[in-house]
Structure 1
Amino acid sequence: MFNKLIPCMRYSKLLFERHLHQIPLSKDRYGIIRKPFAKTMDSDIQLFKSILPDKNQILLDPQDTVGYNRDYFRYVRGLGTVVLKPRTTKEVSHILRHCNNRRLAISIFGGNTGVCGGSIPVFDEIILSMELMNKIEVIDEYSGILVCQSGCVLEKLEEKLLSKRMIMPLDLGSKGSCQIGGNLATNAGGIRLVRYGNLHGTVLGLEAVLANGTTIDLMSNFQKDNTGYHLKHMFIGSEGTLGVITRVAIACPTETTTQNVLFLGLRSYEAVLQTFLESKKRLGEILTSCELIDRVSLEVTVNHLKTASPIKDFPFYMLLETTGIQKEHDDEKVQSFLDYVIERGIVSDGVHACEPSKIDHLWKLREMIPAAVYSNRFCLTYDLSLPLKEFYDIVTVMRRRVGHLTKIVCGFGHIGDSNIHLTIAGDELTGEIQLLIDPFVYEFTRKLKGSVSAEHGIGLLKPKYLNYSKSTEAITLMKQIKMMMDPNGILNPYKVLQI
Structure 2
Amino acid sequence: MLTMAMRSGGLRGTAVRWLLSQRLRGGGGGHHRFASTLLTAQQKPYTHIQRGNFNQVEGEDLAVFERILTSSGVITDHADVDRYNQDWMGKFRGQSTVVLRPKSTEEVAAVLRHCHQRRLAVSTQGGNTGLVGGSVPLFDEIILSTELMNDIISLDDVSRILTCQAGCVLEQLNTYLEPHDLMMPLDLGAKGSCHIGGNVATNAGGLRFLRYGSLHGTVLGLEAVLADGTVLNTLSGLRKDNTGYDLKQLFIGSEGTLGVVTGVAIEAVQRPAATNVAFLACNSYEQLQHTFQAAKHHLGEILSAFEFLDEGSMDCTTANLGLSSPLQTPAPFYILIETHGSVQEHDFAKLEGFLETVMSDELVVDGTVAQDAGQASALWGIRERITEALQHDGTVYKYDVSLPLPVLYSLVNEMRSRVASVATRCVGYGHVGDGNLHLNITSSEPNEELFGLIEPFVYEFTAKHRGSISAEHGLGVMKPHHIHYSKPAEAIHLMKQIKALMDPHGILNPYKTIV
Q: Shorter-normalised TM-score: what interval?
A: over 0.9
What SS is found at the alignment partner of 2:469? coil
Residues 155 and 262 of structure 1, relative CA distance in 2, 3 Å threshold: same
Letter in 2 for 1:434: F
Aligned partner of 1:170 in structure 2 is 186
- Asked if 1:157 is matched to 2:194, the reply is no
- Asked if 1:264 is matched to 2:268, the reply is no
Aligned partner of 1:318 in structure 2 is 335
Alignment partners' CA distance in 2, 1:394 and 1:115: 20
TM-score, structure 1 normalization = 0.96
Letter in 2 for 1:271: Q
Alignment partners' CA distance in 1, 2:294 and 2:380: 21
- Asked if 1:389 is matched to 2:389, the reply is no
Alignment partners' CA distance in 1, 2:444 and 2:46: 19
Q: Deviations over 1:47-101 (max 9, x none)?
A: 0000003x32110000000011111122211000010000000000000000000
Aligned partner of 1:249 in structure 2 is 265
Letter in 2 for 1:156: Q
Letter in 2 for 1:58: V
Q: Deviations over 1:134-159 (max 9, x none)?
A: 00111222111110000000000011
1:171 Cα shift? 0.1
1:128 Cα shift? 0.2
Alignment partners' CA distance in 2, 1:26 and 1:437: 15
1:344 Cα shift? 1.0
TM-score, structure 2 normalization = 0.93
Q: Deviations over 1:403-435 (max 9, x none)?
A: 221111000000110000000002133221111
Gaps of 5+ in 1: 13-19
- Asked if 1:133 is matched to 2:156, the reply is no
Is the contact made by 2:39 and 2:93 (CA closer than 8 Å) also made in structure 1? no
Give aligned-pair identity as a percent: 49
- Asked if 1:454 is matched to 2:471, the reply is yes
Aligned partner of 2:214 in structure 1 is 198
Give 1:333-344 correspondences, 5 Å limit.
333-344=350-361
Letter in 2 for 1:454: A
Letter in 2 for 1:5: L
- Asked if 1:440 is matched to 2:457, the reply is yes
- Asked if 1:472 is matched to 2:486, the reply is no
Residues 340 and 21 of structure 1, relative CA distance in 2, 3 Å threshold: same
Query: Among residues 189, 213, 230, which one is paired with 2:205 in the alignment?
Result: 189
Letter in 2 for 1:34: R
Letter in 1 for 2:19: L
Give 1:119-130 correspondences, 5 Å limit.
119-130=135-146
What SS is found at the alignment partner of 2:293? helix
Alignment partners' CA distance in 2, 1:337 and 1:255: 23
- Asked if 1:207 is matched to 2:223, the reply is yes
- Asked if 1:417 is matched to 2:431, the reply is no
1:314 Cα shift? 0.3
What SS is found at the alignment partner of 2:269? coil
Aligned partner of 1:399 in structure 2 is 416
Alignment partners' CA distance in 1, 2:38 and 2:248: 40
What SS is found at the alignment partner of 1:6? coil
Alignment partners' CA distance in 1, 2:494 and 2:488: 10
Aligned length: 490
Letter in 1 for 2:261: I
Letter in 2 for 1:374: Q
Residues 149 and 259 of structure 1, relative CA distance in 2, 3 Å threshold: same
What SS is found at the alignment partner of 1:461? coil
Alignment partners' CA distance in 2, 1:86 and 1:149: 11
Alignment partners' CA distance in 1, 2:100 and 2:492: 32
Aligned partner of 2:374 in structure 1 is 357
| 4+ runs deviating over 4 angstroms | 24-29
Letter in 2 for 1:333: K
Alignment partners' CA distance in 2, 1:480 and 1:471: 15
Aligned partner of 2:20 in structure 1 is 6
1:304 Cα shift? 2.4
Q: CA RMSD in A?
A: 1.5
Alignment partners' CA distance in 2, 1:105 and 1:438: 30
